[in-house]
Chain A
């Protein structure tokens, strides 16, 4: 009896392991209704302009769904694997997933060239258009949000330590300042989720790579995770960590606690943080300032686009034309995209939007500094295009493991990255760059 039951259990569990897949009803009929998948708070911005859009285009009805991030990725992946059944017409897709969808699901996203997207080629911040262009030259998404990296700092803490932050131009100088800061005020220079518990924390490392025009892959799709710039960036992290000026922000709410306790002096966060920090810590009004981050090498580039998000149109949507009409409406008109920015906190990729006075007006929270200006300057200066490739998710995980080894186990940056690059090349069937 037991034998039989156990045998059945073996059979059933084997089945469970091998099983996966769901389907949904297409649910599209009648007058042209399009569904937009996004996540909060960005979806609030889109929903706000969707009403205006419906007024201008009475034949199209737009439903904006806040599917949630990261839930949206599993949903899109499953639906694409099922041949596009149940997928929304317009999809909000981050740069960390876009190349994967483009590579792994040919036809999953619509080529917007056919609908005229090419005419907006130069409308967006430099470095973005190549990331939405496929190997076949097709345009598979329109840039919506762009996040140039910033250097948010607590002026009061640096003042106490006797450091003039504005004069810092390289990360090496920032490390020296950080040591002084730690000694005088007890505050850490930056925080990182060292064990990558919960989620990876690679934006900072990636920004150090991107400042050098480097990344995990080069334009030819070869693995560059062990290149000289990659090692240099990781060596900087190790230097900071060894100096004891990197706080460990692993765990729910740890970073927030450190910030409210005045234990974090710098947040190397991107443009979205301009509105996020005042929301999160209203009582720290007047203490924060923002500038462009220091360069990795003396005289080197200080700008980097850490990530961007886009609107794409499902390749299986029966209403691609209407979906694109909405995308074009929402993303290519300065007044519309600035409304999205206001309602959804999403920093626009459309360069024409920056002439609006809001980008240069002084903000009381930042001691009357025009806090958005460093970001606009960065985008005007232009960042290098980053080659994410279809294997970005895998690269991100492997690079994160290398960072954890360096930060927690004191591994040698060059050795850890060589090991990581070899693994990445093996797993993705790519060449190691020479």
Chain B
């Protein structure tokens, strides 16, 4: 009996020489790390090299920083930068405000059928790109589109949603907001639910009204989550591709051309991989600068 008990113990000891308390965390992250090295690190480094070349395959040649010089002098790159910035500045605050209001509503104890509402709010995030593109092109059609029909009931003349440079940008903002508000609302909801009830109870005992409770408890408690969504949404919008790709193709007259879309066009339409890689690096730089700046600001 004692003999049989001691054997597994011995086995465990021999195993311990390979798997120790110290190295087990590294073993656990190994699959993710390997995946990162193969699918992320390698392409990042390869793209750095490609951005210093021109041509493809056998015709690839080293051109140094030519692609970056070209980038600075390319009016279309600046257009794409401007469009992306404009959509960012308008869309992210609107979406996050909506998301916050939605999450407050979802979190209210007065709401019935909560599960159903939550599902509804989150559903757009699950919609596939193609379905979503087709749906919006039907909604936004100038003649016989759903939105124009609805506006028509209030006497608004039909708007050329995808055909006019101004409205095309608005359409992108609408589509983006529809797609990602629910996602952010769910993050906020999780944040709201982690705020201790005692804080509210204490405030109520002290006689604080609903508005006071919101500004003095909800907002400060939610701050880390708010910061997270601002950074994530900023990064997401800087890389905006899907919506202009399916809805406008970057038009009309490049008014919805975003950096990522321009990158795609150069790589896959014009076979200019070196230049596309240079755009990718410029975008990475911009994303990094924005991300770091926002984190610094939030620390203060």
Q: List chain A positions with a Cβ less than 8 A from chain B.
A: 1-3, 5-7, 9-10, 12-21, 73-74, 77, 80-81, 83, 100-101, 104-108, 194-199, 248, 250-252, 254, 257, 390-391, 393-394, 397, 400-401, 404-405, 408-409, 423, 426-427
* CB of A312, distance to nearest CB on chain B (Å): 15
A2 to B228: give the CA distance in the assembly, Å: 7
A74-B271 Cα distance, complex, nearest whole Å: 10
The answer to whether A250 touches B142 (Cβ under 8 A) is yes
Instruction: Report the separation of the CA atoms of residues A10 and B292 in the bound assembly, to the nearest whole angstrom.
Output: 9
Residues of B within 8 A of A408 (CB): 163-165, 252-253
Task: Say whether, besides A2-B227, A100-B271, A195-B160, A404 and B143 are in contact (CB < 8 Å).
Answer: no
Assess whether B43 is interfacial by the CB under 8 Å rule: yes
- For residue A109, give the distance in angstroms from its CB to the closest CB of chain B: 12
Which chain B residues lie closer than 8 Å to A198 at the CB level?
137, 248-249
- Number of residues on chain B facing chain A (CB within 8 A): 69
A254 cross-chain contacts in B, Cβ below 8 A: 141-143
| CB neighbours of A390 from chain B (8 A) | 271
Chain B, range 121-135, C-beta contacts under 8 Å to A: 134
| Residue among B134, B163, B263, B295 having the largest count of chain A Cβ atoms under 10 Å | B163
Residues in A whose Cβ lies below 8 Å from that of B41: 15
> Which residues of chain B (225-283) have a CB below 8 Å from chain A?
227-228, 231-232, 235-236, 239, 247-249, 251-254, 260, 263, 265, 267-271, 273, 277, 280-281, 283
Main SS at interface, chain A: helix
Chain B residues near A250 (CB-CB < 8 A): 142, 162-163
B143 to chain A, nearest CB (A): 7
Task: State whether the Cβ of B284 lies closer than 8 Å to any Cβ in chain A.
Answer: yes
A100 touches B270 (CB 8 A): yes
Q: Does B203 contact A (CB under 8 A)?
A: no
How many contacting A-B pairs (Cβ < 8 A)? 171
The smallest C-beta distance from A81 to any residue of chain B, in angstroms, reads 6
Q: A100 — which chain B residues lie within 8 A by C-beta?
A: 270-271
Q: Which A residues are in CB contact (< 8 Å) with B283?
A: 17
| CA A195 to CA B288, docked complex, whole Å | 34
CB neighbours (8 Å) of B143 from chain A are 251, 254, 257
Q: B141: which A residues are within 8 A, CB to CB?
A: 251-252, 254
In whole angstroms, what is the CA distance A387 to B30 when docked? Answer: 54
B134 to chain A: closest residue by CB: A252
Q: A83 to chain B: which residues have CB within 8 Å?
A: 57
CB pair B59–A104 under 8 Å, yes or no, is yes
> Does B170 reach chain A (CB closer than 8 Å)?
no
Q: Which residue of A lies closest to B247 (CB)?
A: A197
CB-CB under 8 A from A401, the residues of chain B are 251, 253-254
State the CA gap A405–B164 with chains docked (Å): 11
Q: How far is the CA of A1 from the CA of B58 in the complex (A)?
A: 47
Contact A405 B253 (CB under 8 A): yes
Partner of B43, one of A15, A107, A199: A15
A422 to B283, CA, bound (A): 26
Q: B270 contacts A391, CB within 8 Å?
A: yes
What are 25 A-B contacts defined by CB distance under 8 Å? Answer: A6-B294, A6-B295, A9-B232, A9-B235, A9-B291, A10-B288, A15-B44, A16-B239, A18-B48, A18-B281, A74-B268, A77-B271, A81-B273, A104-B59, A105-B59, A106-B58, A106-B59, A107-B57, A195-B163, A196-B249, A198-B137, A252-B134, A252-B137, A257-B143, A423-B76
Q: Is B86 an interface position by the 8 A CB rule?
A: no
Question: If the complex has contacts A3-B295, A106-B58, A250-B163, are A10 and B251 also in contact, measured as CB distance less than 8 A?
Answer: no
Whether B163 and A20, one on each chain, are in contact in the complex, defined by CB atoms closer than 8 angstroms, is no
CA distance A273 to B271 in the complex (A): 31
How far does the alpha carbon of A20 sit from the alpha carbon of B292 in the complex, in Å? 25
Contact assessment for B284 and A7 in the assembled complex, using a CB-CB cutoff below 8 Å: no
Chain B 30-53: CB-based contact to A (< 8 A → 1; otherwise 0): 000000100111011011100000
Tell me, rounded to whole Å, the shortest Cβ–Cβ distance linking A407 to chain B: 9
Also in contact, A6 and B162, with CB within 8 A (given A105-B57, A107-B57, A195-B252): no
B39 touches A19 (CB 8 A): yes
Select A9's contact among B75, B142, B164, B231, beta carbons within 8 Å: B231
Contact B287 A13 (CB under 8 A): yes
- B43 adjacent to A196 (CB under 8 Å): no
> Contacts A9-B235, A105-B56, A106-B58 known; A251 to B251 CB distance under 8 Å?
no
**Which residue of chain A has the shortest Cβ distance to B269 in the bound complex?**
A393
In the complex formed, the residue of A with least CB distance to B225 is A2
**Residues of B with C-beta under 8 A to A391:** 270
- Once the chains bind, are A17 and B280 in contact (CB under 8 Å)? yes
Question: What residue of chain B has the Cβ atom nearest to residue A196's Cβ?
Answer: B251
